[in-house]
Amino acid sequence: MANTSPGNSITLRVSAPSRFTTTSELAAAAAAAGAAVTALDVAESHHERIIVDITANTTDEDHAARVSDALEALEGVTVLHVSDRTFLMHLGGKLEVVPKAPLRNRDDLSRAYTPGVARVCMAIADDPALARNLTIKRNTIAVVTDGTAVLGLGNIGPAAALPVMEGKVALFKQFANVDAWPVCLDTTDTEEIISIVKAISPVYGGINLEDIAAPRCFEIEKRLRAELDIPVFHDDQHGTAIVTLAALTNALRVVRKKIADVKIVVAGVGAAGNAIISLLVAQGATNIIACGRSGAVHRGDNHADPHRAWLAEHTNPENFAGSLHEAMPGADVFIGVSGPNVLGEEQIAAMAGDAIVFAMANPTPEVDPVLAARHAAVVATGRSDFPNQINNVLAFPGFFRGLLDAGVSEITFDMLVAAAVAIANRVDDSELNASFIIPSVFDPHVADDVAFAVTNAAGSPLERTNS
């Protein structure tokens, strides 16, 4: 799959002869090299030469180099500099801390800090519950990772995980006005992670676990939920499950099938796969085959991992024991949360009529969506450059907004389902089609609808603030 993407956007500054046809020649050369030109600006103009900035989407670093070479090949053109726009966005990080209260004079300082702050401290010491109202706690969560399962990149460590966590924090703020902070831990020891999160928890109103590899993530979430009085949410599990259920609900509407009647093949039995399957089973799915690296999870194996044992007990009713490829013939739905290119066109062609394919591995899906679309009725990915982007950002900002507003610590299946229904319902009957089964991540009402649904499912209904 070689599609240009804003994630690989570059700006090339070139020096070229000053003539009427220069800009069109530059644009044509970049396009001929496969770049998607998005902007062309004359930065400087002189009597013999002009300086032009060409911004274009490419597929990867090698493609960017080929685009640069194509411009250099033009007579009289020199490429002065190539800037990677994604790296430029990350210079200095993507976050800053801005105070809510102005500190303009001694009067402000005396109330925000010493001596006045001491009175607030003592009030909280006398009644710790006041921390929720008198500190950042009521609207702040920690985004915690150990960097062992970052996107589709695997175990890259806490420092390399930080740009992803910064992005997650920015999304919380942008879409649900939830204040969050990245906490990247330089340890993969389960007990140490649990201990650290418990130790920092007084500051936060919730904990979002992120990109922690299975099976440790299950134990960490379970223990923290039992030992903390604030909500603990593993987005890789439950956020993914929510948006998958929402998308599948609408995809099944498109093809006029029912969840209880379809054969579902899931590739990936880690954190996301387990949570998706659990939620689908709770919603009435009866024929799911879960496939890991060694093939289908079935009752003939000895499963030391309790989560694999649960899958073997509650899925695969015919106890199929073959490979992922062998499981695909006749499947109505494929859900991929595994790795790149695990399926080819042949496997999609073997699925049932009006098939649904969710290839959600990032950045490279389980199957090329263009090839999948030749045979499947509905195709979705986790990418923003194809229709039907199944992205957790539809779920986690509003979900935490609802948890914080409701002031609850327990997360229930009812909340997860309510959030999925709220997302699915953002696509009405007049909009629903094979290329639009899930709302845009920029739909301004999604987070509010999810928050409203979560607070009602929690038994703390709030007045709806949006249409």
Active centre residues (catalytic): 113, 168
Token pair 């899958």: residue: 311
* Structure tokens, 216: 């440790």
CB-facing half-sphere around the CA of 354: CA atoms within 13 A? 11
d(CA 88, CA 86): 5
* Rounded-to-integer distance, Cα 213 and Cα 154, Å: 8
Residues 368, 379 contacting (CB under 8 angstroms): no
Q: Which of 434, 435, 362, 366 is nearest to 393 (CA)?
A: 362
CA atoms 372, 374, 375, 381: torsion sign: positive
Q: Which residues pair with 180 in a beta bridge?
A: 141
The amino acid at residue 2 is: A
Phi, psi torsion values for 102, nearest 5 degrees: -70, 145
Question: Is the Cβ–Cβ distance between 177 and 170 less than 8 Å?
Answer: no
Q: Which residues touch 80 (CB under 8 Å, ≥6 apart)?
A: 13, 14, 15, 51
